[in-house]
Amino acid sequence: MNKSRRRILSICIFVFGLTGAVSTAAEPLGKVIYKKNSLYNSIFVYQNGSIVTMKFGRKSGVHLQSQVDLDNPQQHLLEYTRMAFCGLLYKPDPKTMLVLGLGGGVIPSQMRYYFPLMEIDVAEIDADVVPAATKYMGFKEDENLKVTVDDGRMFIKKQLRKKQIPKYDLIVLDAFNGDYIPFHLMTREFLDEVKGVLADDGVVIANVFFTFRLFDAEFKTFLSVFGRGQAFYGSYSGNAMIVSPGAKCDMLTPQKVLERAGQLQQKLSLSFDLTEVAKMLRPDAQPERKAKVLTDDLAPVNWLKEQETEEPSGKNP
């Protein structure tokens, strides 16, 4: 991808929002059915027909968190929620899952639909997001799907303090809003703590944008903690999923990924084509050589998320 195309894509991402560019984002989001200034966000919920959108911030068009079609809740309207299923390619039968960042609750809701018995923990710092997701986005807590209102890092620290430390098969890191990325959820020390609650055959995935230098820094930080990592690159949203498997979980070749995607597609009757997600894997992708590992001491994440990458570093579709 040349630099001008990259620039155009970056602008599109800026316009369409941090947590996922949406094919429907160019269309009006509809009328505001809920708004609240919480401690952390300005939460807006829009409805246009059966499409409900949760957005943080007042700027038009940016910071889309989640989008659902109430008439067809299994449909993925945002590319990144489909991409979050890439974790299943490494761990096809997860029993436990941890999601940091609820938003509209699409990822836990979808996982609950396909895995009715899976134990799912969600940590969300903003107490006002939970009722909004429940009332307007179709999100439901149940006996095995629990939301804890807490900072993601504190949630994991508290899990680590337990005598019997819970281990998760799938961990999804998605605790961003549009304007601000909490630095302490991207550092080596944080990922060390994540590693402490990851099952040996589990997998951790993080949603990041690959067109900004933050991606390279985060990818490098993952490699420094987990030793291994792969990345899936969204085809139009600019989202990337960095995937690092636990000690007893294998890295996958593109052929193996496609094979597993086909098997899972049949087994789960997914509402979208998982093989399309599988094709997003770039096995040769590496972070930029000059990228620095993020630490609690040095993590200029909000500056890095504004810096476009200069070199493709083998990650472009």
Partner 1 sequence: MQNQSSGTIHAQGRHLHAAAIILISCVCGWFMMELEILGVRVLVPYFGSAVYVITGSVIGVFLLSLSVGYLLGGWLSNKINAWIELGLVMVAVGACFIAIPVIDEPVCTMIFNTGINEQWGSLLASLILFGVPTVLLGTVSPTVMHWLTTQASDSGFNAGLVLATSTITGFAGCIVAAFYLVLYSLRMTLCISGAIMMTLGAVVLVTFCWRYRNGGCR
Binders of partner 1 among residues 71 to 110 (CB under 8 A) are none
174, 179, 200, 216: the active-site residue: 174
Q: Which is nearer to partner 1, 186 or 274 (CB)?
A: 186
Q: Which of 165, 247, 251, 298 binds partner 1 (CB under 8 A)?
A: 298
Instruction: Note whether 53 and 43 are within 8 A (CB).
Output: no
CB of 217 to partner 1, least distance (A): 12
Tell me how far apart the alpha carbons of residues 181 and 303 are, in angstroms, rounded to a whole number.
10
Q: Which is nearer to partner 1, 14 or 180 (CB)?
A: 180
Q: 121 pairs with which residues across the strands?
A: 98, 146
Instruction: Note whether 183 and 189 are within 8 A (CB).
Output: no
Q: Transcribe 58-81 into DSSP letters.
A: SSTT--EEEEEETTSTTS--BHHH
Cα–Cα distances in Å, from 89 out to 81, 86, 116, 275? 15, 5, 18, 10
Instruction: Note whether 29 and 48 are within 8 A (CB).
Output: yes
Q: Which is nearer to partner 1, 151 or 201 (CB)?
A: 151
Q: Which of 149, 196, 183 is nearest to 297 (CA)?
A: 183
Q: 261 pairs with which residues across the strands?
A: none
Binders of partner 1 among residues 20 to 39 (CB under 8 A) are 39
Count of Cβ atoms closer than 10 Å to residue 17 Cβ:
25
Q: Which of 192, 200, 296, 306 binds partner 1 (CB under 8 A)?
A: 296
Q: Which of 190, 210, 232, 233 binds partner 1 (CB under 8 A)?
A: 190
Q: Which is nearer to partner 1, 254 or 300 (CB)?
A: 300
Question: Is 174 a known active-site residue?
Answer: yes
Binders of partner 1 among residues 148 to 187 (CB under 8 A) are 150-151, 153-154, 157, 161, 182-184, 187
Binders of partner 1 among residues 255 to 284 (CB under 8 A) are none
Instruction: Note whether 147 and 139 are within 8 A (CB).
Output: no
Q: Which stretch binds partner 1 (CB under 8 A): 210-218, 231-239, 280-288, 290-298?
A: 290-298
Cα–Cα distances in Å, from 167 out to 1, 164, 268, 270? 40, 9, 24, 26
Q: Which is nearer to partner 1, 124 or 169 (CB)?
A: 124
CB of 298 to partner 1, least distance (A): 5
Catalytic center residues:
174
User: Which residues of this chain interact with partner 1, rule CB under 8 A?
Assistant: 39-40, 125, 150-151, 153-154, 157, 161, 182-184, 187, 189-190, 296-298, 300, 302-303
